[in-house]
Amino acid sequence: MNPWQGGGSAFLKKAEEIAKDVLAAEAPRIDRDATWPEKGLRTLLSEGFGGLVVPRQYGGKGQGLLMLARVCEILSKECPSTGICFGMHCVATSVMSVNATDAQRENFLNPICEGKHITSLSLSELGTGIHFYLPQTSLTAVSPDCYSLTGSKVFVTNGAHADSYVVSAVAGDRGAPAGQFSCVVIPNNSEGLTWGKPWDGIGMRGNSSRTMTLQDVRIPRANLLGREGDQIWYIFNVITPFFLVAMAATYLGVSDSALNEARMHVMRRQHVHTGGLSGAPVIQHRFGKLWGMLDRTRRLVYGAAASFDNGDPDALISIMASKAEVADSAVEIVNESMTLTGGRGYSEGSKLSRHLRDVRAVHLMSPTTDLLRTWIGRSLLGVPLLAD
């Protein structure tokens, strides 16, 4: 049976099958060797997930943020690197889709929906840090049909492995309006595009978060997304909601898996003098508290995602809050789960040891937790988000 003909529950089941049959086996090696999760991603694409958020009229599955959240959570229970790599693919495809031209549909969206093309985001730069919406990479028109890009991007997920990248840039032409930011698509085989050293982080080791250097990279004007100067619109109407939901759901998956590891350990653990750990009231209390945190944040993420899908004009505030709340709860849930499992969880190579390292990235990925809460406060107080 084609899972895409069976409604949401059928393809969530397919995501669970891929997570258990492919990702679970691959995750230890990906973490040990800092290897990009190619097998899991290729399996997802071959099963039709590549076009998950691409509109149906363009050949995609036409799903929104809620389905993206549910799929990323399922994947990340077994391999958070696969979850975030897939999530960034979906964010980039959503950016391509919203104002796609015929040429962009043919060159990018059709191969994506056919499972033949992986894409990703390339926004962050060393000089502007967490302020990813202020690119310094320059976009200069060299002819009526061609742009040149020069600059450098950092922490590019799927770096050197994706087939294309959605890149932000500032107009480099004389006379262009100050701060005219745009988004373009750059193929991975572009002349003048080079990559820095492989990613070797303490956690999320399969992300391939690498530095991209662009030196007079020529692309056709047809690769411009929307109009020149549309980048800020894309940031807050497409990139930020999709990016935050994908990240929040990834760390929901980490939290759920960590708590389940602790639960299974406690249910098995027996002491010769007191019996099973599960009978201790203090243990029961701590599990009750942790489960409440997980359930509360999951409902916040899913509710915010559904609100966006339904066109709620205030959905972005809820989405920002959901990622910030997941960040706090995920770190606590994983830390407490480690404590509840004792030395076994702390052992090298355990699933919890991977989660402990992976979860530390949740506060660092831009927009960071502090920046999100500042933006939420500004929204509530009537202050422009980019007041600084």
pLDDT for 158-206, tens place per residue? 999 999 999 999 988 766 676 678 999 999 999 999 999 999 999 999 9
Q: 110: part of which helix (H) or strand (E)?
A: helix 110-113
In sequence order, what are the residues at sequence separation of 6 or more whose Cβ sits closer than 8 angstroms to the Cβ of residue 13?
3
CA distances from 167 to 48, 116, 124, 208 (A): 25, 20, 9, 17
Cis upstream peptide for 177 (omega within 30°):
no
What is Dmax (Cα atoms) for the chain?
A: 81
Please report which confidence band the pLDDT of residue 350 belongs to, taking 50, 70 and 90 as the band edges: confident
Q: Are 166 and 96 in contact (CB under 8 A)?
A: yes
Give yes or no for residue 13 having a pLDDT over 80.
yes
Mean pLDDT, residues 142-164 taken together = 97
Taken in order 188, 193, 197, 201, is the CA torsion positive or negative?
Answer: negative
The 8 Å CB, 24+ separation contacts for 63-67 are 64/305, 64/308, 64/309, 65/241, 65/242, 65/245, 65/304, 65/305, 65/306, 65/308, 65/309, 65/319, 66/302, 66/305, 66/306, 66/309, 67/8
Domains of the chain: 3-118 (1.10.540.10), 122-229 (2.40.110.10), 232-381 (1.20.140.10)
Please report which confidence band the pLDDT of residue 9 belongs to, taking 50, 70 and 90 as the band edges: confident
Give yes or no for residue 7 having a pLDDT over 70.
no
Q: State how far the Cα of 119 lies from the Cα of 162, in Å rounded to an integer.
A: 5
Q: State how far the Cα of 33 lies from the Cα of 75, in Å rounded to an integer.
A: 19
Q: State how far the Cα of 184 lies from the Cα of 149, in Å rounded to an integer.
A: 10
Look at residue 182 and give its three-state secondary structure: strand
Looking at residue 274, what is its pLDDT? 73
Give yes or no for residue 5 having a pLDDT over 60.
no
Start-to-end CA span in the chain (Å): 53
Looking at residue 179, what is its pLDDT? 67
Spatial CA neighbour of 121 closest among 95, 99, 148: 95
Please report which confidence band the pLDDT of residue 279 belongs to, taking 50, 70 and 90 as the band edges: confident
Query: How, if at all, do strands 181-187 and 224-225 pair?
Result: antiparallel
Looking at residue 78, what is its pLDDT? 98
pLDDT tens digits, one per residue of 24-65: 999 999 999 999 999 999 999 999 999 999 999 999 999 999
CA distances from 216 to 61, 122, 166 (A): 36, 17, 17
Looking at residue 330, what is its pLDDT? 98
In sequence order, what are the residues at sequence separation of 6 or more whose Cβ sits closer than 8 angstroms to the Cβ of residue 374?
none
Looking at residue 133, what is its pLDDT? 85
Q: State how far the Cα of 198 lies from the Cα of 209, in Å rounded to an integer.
A: 8
Q: What angle do CA 262, 264, 270 make, to 5 degrees?
A: 100
